[in-house]
Amino acid sequence: MILLSLLLTSFVLTCAEVDSQDYCYAKGQSCSTETPRDEKFVLYDVNPPEGFNLRRDVYMRFAIMMSEAKKHERRQNWNLVLPPWFNLYHWKTADSNKPVPWSMFFDVESLKAFAPVVELFELFSKTKRKYLEIDRLYVLQNFPDAFENGVFDDKWEIDRNCDYSGSFWGYKNITVKETICVKYQGQISKLWELISLHSADKYVMFAHGEIPLHDYYGSKTFWDCRKSMKFNKNLINKAKKFIYEKLDCNENQCNTYISVHWRRQDFARARISEVPSLLGTAIQIDKAIKKYHSTIDYIFIASDAQNSELIQLEHQLKHLGYKVHFYIPSKLDLEQFSDGGIAIIDQIICSHAAYFIGTHESTFTFRIQEEREILGFKSSTTFNRLCPDTGKCSEPSKWTIVD
Ligand SMILES: Nc1nc2c(ncn2[C@@H]2O[C@H](COP(=O)(O)OP(=O)(O)O)[C@@H](O)[C@H]2O)c(=O)[nH]1
Ligand SMILES: *[C@@H]1O[C@H](CO)[C@@H](O)[C@H](O)[C@H]1NC(C)=O
Ligand SMILES: [Mg+2]
């Protein structure tokens, strides 16, 4: 009898809990003090000279921060605005002076399944005003000495002077109520301390979004976010078609070709001690194939090198008996995908190769390595680098997947 009454009480209690929740929903509001309609937005911008692939990592830091916010009742109404791709330094062809939405390169539905993100144009269509007024723009800056007293502490400090070096992606109708300069170092989640300084703010922006660091680089959440960064379908299809037609493979893990990311331009000029010469590149590729995949004779090369250099490298490798492939976009491809899309197609093709050799400390290479981890390649086929012709050649860092 006692047991039965105990059971009954707990049954009644459970019902009561369900009831009170239903009540909140029925009244069209969540149980928190704020209504779900009171949406708030974080915008961010990155140091203008930074390239596409570092920006992809900065996105992950913010996306993880916003996805984690969903676990806090009082942060649930925050969204992240995807900063348009604008005026990228490495994009030489096409009209790069127009802001490009993320859907051009990524599967935005997939991004949204990981974190509450919106494209800037979606936000525009939500605002009824003629301009978008940002409540607070925090311009982040590094501390002059990151290791004050010998330690790297997470900290921030309001500063007096600074400039916003960006241009709001070229939009003249974005304005700012107040700009605040902040010296900042450490994990990105500390940005909530800044946000809470003005709790009524609806639009908050951070300039120099590359300064805050990942809370946990390489964690499971990191990889969940990374997996959600699927590319736009048209880019995937284009790359797969090339792999099928030119490299004779119809699977995710190909055994018909090896791939190389041969970063040149500024790397060949300013990082002489880390990258090989043209001839040195050919010799190293040949050695790696002989050692690991002596039956393969297809080589795919992704590069930002000038045509004249590519022709020479191709010549060297052909001389050694290989069949060399580049993805050379037609005029139409270039119009459809733009420089940014072409680079992604190069990355996808590199990702599916039996064996990959990258360039030391290139974020373009890092993103290919992550993609290969997601595709399930053995790490030994992925974390390989081109070495300088002479001198030290350190092992590449291995960031392996956490499922
Ligand atoms: N198509 C193509 N573009 C490349 C390649 N390597 C570099 N680039 C271009 O140069 C930029 C390099 O900048 P970034 O993305 O910051 O990578 P990182 O400088 O190598 O760390 C890329 O975003 C591309 O626009 C390549 O192999 N193929
Ligand atoms: C700002 O201008 C762009 C066109 O330059 C327009 O598409 C956008 O809707 C405008 N934003 C707002 C908030 O009116
Ligand atoms: Mg770069």
CATH number at residue 110: 3.40.50.11340
Confidence at residue 95, expressed as pLDDT on a 0 to 100 scale: 62
- Point out the catalytic residue in the list 39, 50, 309, 361: 50
Assess if residue 387 is contained within a domain. Answer: no
Does the beta carbon of 181 sit less than 6 angstroms from any atom of ligand 1? no
Tell me the three state secondary structure of residue 303: strand
Q: What is the pLDDT of residue 37?
A: 61
pLDDT confidence of residue 391:
94
CA-wise closest residue to 194 among 160, 158, 159: 158
Reduce the DSSP state of residue 50 to 3 states and report it. coil
Does 399 map to a domain?
no
Listed residues 175, 202, 227: the one ending a domain: 227
Q: In tens digits, what is the pLDDT along the chain, a chain of 403 residues?
A: 344 444 433 333 333 333 333 333 444 444 444 445 689 999 999 999 999 999 999 999 999 999 999 999 999 999 999 999 998 988 887 665 789 999 999 999 999 999 999 999 999 998 888 999 999 999 999 999 888 888 889 999 999 988 888 899 999 999 999 999 999 999 999 999 999 999 999 999 999 999 999 999 999 999 999 999 999 999 999 999 999 999 999 999 999 999 999 999 999 999 989 999 999 999 999 999 999 999 999 999 999 999 999 999 999 999 999 999 999 999 999 999 999 999 999 999 999 999 999 999 999 999 999 999 999 999 999 999 999 999 999 999 999 999 8
398 inside domain: no
Give the chain's domain count: 2
Show the tokens assigned to 212. Answer: 């805050």
Residue 390 lies in a domain: no
Instruction: Determine which helix (DSSP H) or strand (DSSP E) holds 347, and give its type and residue range.
Output: helix 331-351
Q: Quick one: which ligand is closest to 203's CA?
A: 2
Where a domain ends, among 170, 194, 227?
A: 227
Both 262 and 342 in one domain: the answer is yes
* Residue 291 sits in the same domain as residue 145: no
Residue 26's pLDDT is what? Answer: 40
At 165 the pLDDT is 83
Q: Could you tell me the distance, in angstroms and rounded to a whole number, from the CA of residue 373 to the centre of ligand 3?
A: 22
137 in the same domain as 51: yes
Buried b (16+ CB within 10 A) or exposed e, 15-26: eeeeeeeeeeee
Q: Which of 375, 163, 155 is nearest to 259 (CA)?
A: 375
Residues 184 and 277 placed together within one structural domain of the fold: no
Give the integer Cα–Cα distance in Å for 353 and 247.
9
User: How many angstroms separate the Cα of 285 from the Cα of each of 72, 139, 276, 341, 368?
Assistant: 50, 44, 11, 26, 18
Q: Are residues 125 and 252 in the same domain?
A: no
- How far, in Å, is the centroid of ligand 2 from the Cα of 171? 7
Question: In this structure, are 53 and 166 located in the same domain?
Answer: yes
Do 127 and 235 belong together in one domain?
no
Asked whether 128 lines ligand 2 (CB < 6 A), one says no
Order of strands across the sheet that contains 117-119:
117-119, 78-82, 40-44, 203-207, 132-141, 174-185, 155-159
Same domain, 96 and 182: yes
Determine how β-strand 174-185 pairs with β-strand 132-141. parallel
In contact, 253 and 376? CB cutoff 8 Å: yes
**Annotated catalytic residue 309:** no
Both 250 and 180 in one domain: the answer is: no
Quote the distance between the C-alpha of residue 120 and its chain's center.
Answer: 17
- List the shell of residues around ion ligand 3, using CB closer than 5 Å: 51
In 3D, which of 53, 114, 58 has the Cα closest to residue 83?
A: 58
- Nearest-atom number in ligand 1 for the CA of 363 is 21
140 vs 118: CA distance, rounded Å = 23
Rounded to the nearest 10 degrees, what angle do helices 331-351 and 363-375 cross at?
60
Tokens of 301: 């090369």
Q: Quick one: 168 and 190 in the same domain?
A: yes
Backbone angles phi, psi at 87, to 5 degrees: 55, 40
| Widest Cα–Cα separation across the chain | 91
Is residue 396 domain-resident? no
The length of the chain is 403
Q: What count of other Cβ atoms lies within 10 Å of the Cβ of residue 90?
A: 16
Cβ–Cβ < 8 Å for 64, 221: yes
Tell me whether strands 40-44 and 257-262 are parallel, antiparallel or unpaired: unpaired
Structural domain for 60, as ranges: 2-227
Contact between 58 and 209 under an 8 Å Cβ cutoff? The reply is yes
Give distance in angstroms: CA of 34 to centre of ligand 2. 28
Q: Which amino acid is present at 282? A: A
Closest among 77, 171, 88 to 124, alpha carbons compared? 171
Euclidean distance between the first and the last CA atom of the chain, given in angstroms as a whole number:
49
Structure tokens that stand for 114 in this block: 């990981």
* CATH assignment of the domain containing 318: 3.40.50.11350
Six token digits for residue 370: 């992550």
Q: Which residue has the tokens 């090339």?
A: 242
Q: Report which bound ligand comes closest to the CA of 334.
A: 1
Task: Tell whether 138 and 275 lie within a shared domain.
Answer: no
Q: Do 150 and 54 have their domain in common?
A: yes
Q: Which residue has the tokens 């020479």?
A: 312
Handedness of CA 169, 170, 176, 178 (dihedral sign): positive
- Note whether residue 288 is domain-resident: yes
